[in-house]
Structure 1
Amino acid sequence: ITEAPEDTVVRETPHGRDLFLPRARLTDFAEASGPAIGVLAYEALRVEAHRPRVGLETDHRTIPHELGWIGSAVHLEKGCYRGQETVARVQNLGKPPRRLVFLHLDGSEVTLPAHGAPIRLASEGEEGRQLGFITSSARHHELGPIALALVKRNVPVDAELIADSTAAAQETVVEP
C-alpha cells in the first residue's frame, strides 16, 4: 500500500505493518496488500512473540525490568523521570520483584483464563497461594491456548503452574 485513504491508519512497527481500517474496506485492501488478520489472530501472534502490551502486561506497579523493556524503553543516563530511583535500584542492586513468562496452557479447557486470573503452583492446587496473574491469553493457530503472565521472581522456571483452573507450563521471557 503506497497511500492509505483518510479512514485508514497505517502504523509501521519493528514487527511489520499494522493497518487499521473499517471492516467494509477489508476485502479491497486484502488483495492489494496480502493476507489480513483480525484482532484475535493479531493478539495470538503478539502473545506467541512474547511482546508485552501496555495496559495488559502492565499495571500501576510495573517496572521495565519485569517485561524486558530496560534496553528499549529506558535511557539509564537520562536524569529525572518518574520511577527513576526504582529503576536505578533494580538495575544496580538486584532483580525485579516479578517477571514476564510465556505459558503453554492445557488445551482440554474450553475457555481461556481471563486477564487477572490467578497463577498458582500445580503442586499446591487451586487452594495454594497466588504467585502471579494472567496478563493476556489467546488461541494460537499452531500452539493452541497460550498466555503471558507476570509471576513472582522466585517461582522456579521449571515449575508447573495452574492458571485459574487450567494447567500451564511456563517458558522464560525475562530471566529471574
Structure 2
Amino acid sequence: MTVLETFHANHGATFEERGGRRLARHYGRPERTHLAVRNGVGITEMAYGVLVITGDDRVEYVDNVVSNRVPDDDGEGAYALLCDPQGRIELDIYVYNAGERLLLFVPPGRARGLAEEWREKVFIQDVEIEVASDDLAVLGVHGPKATEKVASVLNKIGVPEGELVFDRGTINDIGVTVIASDDPTGEDGYEIVCSAAESEAVMDALINYGTGAIPFGSRTWETLTLEAGTPLFSSELEGRVPNVLGLRNAVDFEKGCFVGQEVISRVENRGQPSQRLVGLRCSELPAAGTAVLGDDETVGEITRAVQSPSLSEPIALALVEFGLESEDVTVGDESVPATVTELPFVEGSGRSARVPFY
C-alpha cells in the first residue's frame, strides 16, 4: 500500500493498484487539479520503490551496472537505466549519493526483485543492499510556485539549486532531504524525502503551511508529464532501447562496462535509431497501441494519450519511423487526423530533462 494511505483516504482519494502498491489515483475533478498545479503548486506521493546501498564498494558496484555515471560526492544524483544485453531498458533509476549510502528510487514494485538479483551478484565486494520502500516516503512538489512553496516551510537550509542535487534540513523540526528534481512535469519540481512515520506531518505542512498547495494523484501526474513530453517507464521506456526515446540524459555514451552498452553505442554510432518519439495533436483521443499511419501505411504506434487539460484537446506520444517527414498522419482504422508536433506540448516554468533529443 501507499505510505500515506490514511491521508489520501481522508482527502477523498480514489485508488489504483500499480506494481503491487495501492496509490492515490485522484481526489475528484482531476482536470481542475491539473490546472491548479500548472498555475500554482501541487503535492503528490511519488510511487518509488527505494533501495539503500551501503558498503565501501557501493559506488563502484552500482556504477558498473547502470547506464550513467554514479556521482562520487555527497549531495549529488543522476538519472540512469538498467538495460538487458540487447540494450533494452529493464528499469529506470534515480541514484543519489548520500554520503555513506546510496539511495536508489525505482518504479513501484521493482525494488525487492532488484535487491534480490543484485545480492546474488555480489561476491567479494563490500556491498549491502536493503529495501526501504516502506521506511521512507518521497513527496513530489511541482508547479511554477514550487520553489516558493518549499522555501516557505523549510528550515535551516535554502532551497537546493541545480538538477538532481539535494540538501538536508527540517520541516516543523522533522528531518527531511530536499532534492531539486529534473522537472518531469515541465514545471519547477522538488522531492522531499522523510521517514514514513513522519510523512503525514510533512505532507500536512506542505499542503497547509506557507504558500498554498493542492494534493494530486497519478492521473494528474500522467497528464502533466505527457504535456511536458516526458516518457514514463511503464508506457514508453520499458523494453525499448534508450536511443529510440532520445533519452540522452540517462546515458553516458563513454561508459563501456554496463550491460547493453555495446548495443546502445552501436545505435549511436550509426547516426540514427530506427524510430523516434514524437508528440501528436489528435482530433479524437486514441488508445495506447493504436497504429499511426502515413500515406495509408503503418509508420508507428501510440504509446500514451490523454485529454490535455491545458490545451483542451487530445494529445499523445507515439513512436514513429525515424525518417518520417510528414506532419500530417492518421491514427487507427478509422483514419482519425493527427498532427506531429514538437515536444513539449506545454512550456512551463521548467523543462523536463527527458524531453527527447536526437
- TM-score in same-fold range (> 0.5): yes
| Match of residue 119 from structure 1 | 292
1:93 correspondence with 2:270:
yes
Q: What is the 5 A alignment of 1:23-172?
A: 30-32=207-209, 34-36=212-214, 37-60=216-239, 62-70=240-248, 72-106=249-283, 109=284, 112-121=285-294, 123-124=295-296, 129-143=297-311, 144-163=313-332, 165=334, 166-172=336-342
Alpha-carbon distance between aligned partners in 2 of 1:117 and 1:76, rounded to the nearest angstrom = 32
Gaps of 5+ in 1: none
| Match of residue 138 from structure 2 | 9
Alpha-carbon distance between aligned partners in 2 of 1:137 and 1:82, rounded to the nearest angstrom = 31
Could you say which structure has the larger radius of gyration?
2
Alpha-carbon distance between aligned partners in 2 of 1:27 and 1:115, rounded to the nearest angstrom = 36
The farther-off stretch of 158-167 and 80-89 is 158-167
TM-score (norm 1): 0.73
Displacement of 1:91 in angstroms is 1.6
- Which letter maps to 2:308? H
Displacement of 1:170 in angstroms is 0.8
- Structure 1 residue matching 2:233: 3-state secondary structure: coil
Alpha-carbon distance between aligned partners in 2 of 1:164 and 1:147, rounded to the nearest angstrom = 17
Is the CA contact (8 Å cut-off) linking 1:102 and 1:171 kept in structure 2?
A: yes
Displacement of 1:27 in angstroms is 8.1
Displacement of 1:80 in angstroms is 2.4
Alpha-carbon distance between aligned partners in 1 of 2:278 and 2:233, rounded to the nearest angstrom = 16
Gaps of 5+ in 2: 1-44, 46-134, 141-178, 184-188, 197-202, 344-355
Displacement of 1:93 in angstroms is 2.2
- Which letter maps to 1:141? P
Change beyond 3 A, Cα 1:156–1:163: farther
Displacement of 1:9 in angstroms is 3.1
Displacement of 1:169 in angstroms is 0.6
Aligned length: 160
Displacement of 1:7 in angstroms is 8.6
- Structure 2 residue matching 1:46: 3-state secondary structure: helix
- Which letter maps to 1:63? V
Residue identity over aligned pairs, in percent, reads 31
Alpha-carbon distance between aligned partners in 1 of 2:326 and 2:217, rounded to the nearest angstrom = 33
Displacement of 1:46 in angstroms is 0.5
The structure, 1 or 2, with the larger RCO (C-alpha pairs under 8 Å, 6+ apart) is: 1
Alpha-carbon distance between aligned partners in 2 of 1:157 and 1:83, rounded to the nearest angstrom = 32
